[in-house]
Structure 1
């Protein structure tokens, strides 16, 4: 068991989310940083979709009631196991009674704790992710609170192997283009791009956007100039997915994130490429982002460095665990 000692708002159990159920009005949910989940599970020899704890408010503290291998990935949360500091993107062994604490990150927004074997919580619609809006999945369909006890999938745990090693963080292994003080995110033109006048299109690509304080797992509200249409456009609601950038009538873009609605009627100006969604998931409210237009071919090719990085982590982790 894992006992939660300290937890503030919106720390939840997540995996990679629900696939194939958006047609029923159920959003994907899942981690905001899928690379962090995959690497955490890979370090431990887990299935890459084993459920984790996504931490986005700090400090966060848990106590291990049994011996357990775990990994901490994502934002550099200055993790401590008892009195021992842990490097970022690292797996370690906890003993029964040990306390793990994650602190406010020096960089990034969300930390992830994976456990050997994963968390033993019910699969609902194929996922253990917490669906906050509907109140199901994860641990009782809600954020974690002090006193919660999370069971571990000991029966599904892989063969014990070495711990005490880590992975190169992906933002170092795959450097992000930086435009001044802003994260540069690649994006494709979306379905209603041509509805926007050329001046509004140019404004979208050239603006230094600030991620607003009202941003959350559902979407990032971007503060900057207004992207206004010549006249209001009424549209039927249509399917949306994480990464889609919609523009409401007031002109402030919204980037749909993990808990995005399954459908919406606002015009879509662009869509963040899959290879950069994890970077956006680690962007804090108040930070800045710019968008760079790419072609479909470039968007597909952008996944190559990500897949190569994960392959290297998998190979290296298997070798270390076997030592």
Structure 2
């Protein structure tokens, strides 16, 4: 029997995600999947899963849950947070980017995320929910996939797939930097000609800010409105993750994993795939600038990202054991050799005579 997670507190928006539901956009089905795919792959590697195993995606803060039905192994990636494991009145605290063995009956609390708006919590065996159209990812808008087609709620019980917990826990000793440099690289188009030259210059030359209207579907941006040659509307065509639509307001919308499959607004640019994880980590209020690159440069950036990820996966090592202090053993030992009292040495007695 495999372990299960009983949700005590779900977190702001905790959902089941994998690499996404590919191949069904022609039928109006969004891809969905993890906003930070490299973090998903690292989390799965840390716990011994295939790269596409389903995990929990956390937003802003993590859940509180109890492990039942057996032990579990987990790993948090994509953000910095404190992981508290409580059992029998004792609490241990761990950090991210490493696997942690959780005994049956333990309560786990994932604290607020730092350095990122989202994180991935992977489990050995993966999250065991039904496969729908080739994926376990949650489509929050369509209300299917994942756990009952929605974000997790208090009282939910989520099963883990079978996985023998053998071998040491692994860690990534040099985690990737989560610092956002402020710039997302884009390839202009596919409807760049729908915008004036001034609009293109403004788009590439000024800063935008993520508005409060930000979710897994996309980020509405605030800043200088962009002008059109003839208007925002086009004949609806396909949308990919990273497309930047510009509606009649002139303010861009950066579309993320849960985006619709077609749209009728002109798209000024597309964020390159190597920068999508950084876009998915952004929070309301974050500033963004856009820099245009060629298709060839975008492809090389993705190859470079894959090389770095391969190096990180190859660099996973067993967790370094922390030395434990046995206080009772220390008290039984005489740890001081030689003089233990000033009065027991000639020099000490002479010094005391001078003082007295």
TM-score (norm 1): 0.92
Distance 1:305 1:136 in 2: 35
Q: 1:144 aligns with which of 144, 148, 152?
A: 152
8 Å CA contact 1:76–1:107 kept in 2: the answer is yes
Q: Does 1:108 align with 2:107?
A: no
The count of residues paired between Structure 1 and Structure 2 equals 312
Q: CA offsets per residue over residues 127-166 of structure 1, 9 Å max, x none?
A: 0011111111000111101111111111xx2662211523
Cα RMSD between the aligned structures?
1.8
Q: 1:162 aligns with which of 161, 165, 168?
A: 168
Q: CA deviation at 1:41?
A: 0.3
Q: Does 1:63 align with 2:69?
A: no
**Larger relative contact order (Cα-Cα within 8 Å, sequence gap ≥ 6):** 1
Distance 2:125 2:309 in 1: 19
Distance 1:169 1:221 in 2: 30
**Cα distance change, pair 275–158 in 1 and its aligned pair in 2 (3 A):** farther
Residues 255-274 of structure 1: pairs in structure 2 closer than 5 A: 255-274=254-273
TM-score (norm 2): 0.84
Q: Could you say which residue in structure 1 is the equivalent of 2:103? A: 95
Specify every segment of 5 or more residues in structure 2 that has no aligned partner in the other structure, as ranges: 322-356
Residues 241-256 of structure 1: pairs in structure 2 closer than 5 A: 241-256=240-255
8 Å CA contact 1:185–1:272 kept in 2: the answer is yes
Q: Could you say which residue in structure 2 is the equivalent of 1:320? A: 318
Q: CA deviation at 1:94?
A: 0.5
Distance 1:114 1:263 in 2: 32
Q: CA deviation at 1:75?
A: 1.6
Q: Could you say which residue in structure 1 is the equivalent of 2:342? A: none
Q: CA deviation at 1:57?
A: 4.2
Residues 125-144 of structure 1: pairs in structure 2 closer than 5 A: 125-144=133-152
Q: Could you say which residue in structure 2 is the equivalent of 1:11? A: 14
Q: CA deviation at 1:84?
A: 2.1
Q: 2:125 aligns with which of 110, 117, 136?
A: 117
Distance 2:132 2:164 in 1: 23
Q: CA deviation at 1:170?
A: 2.4
**Cα distance change, pair 229–295 in 1 and its aligned pair in 2 (3 A):** same
Residues 175-194 of structure 1: pairs in structure 2 closer than 5 A: 178=181, 183-194=182-193
Q: CA deviation at 1:233?
A: 4.5
8 Å CA contact 1:89–1:166 kept in 2: the answer is yes
Distance 1:236 1:167 in 2: 50
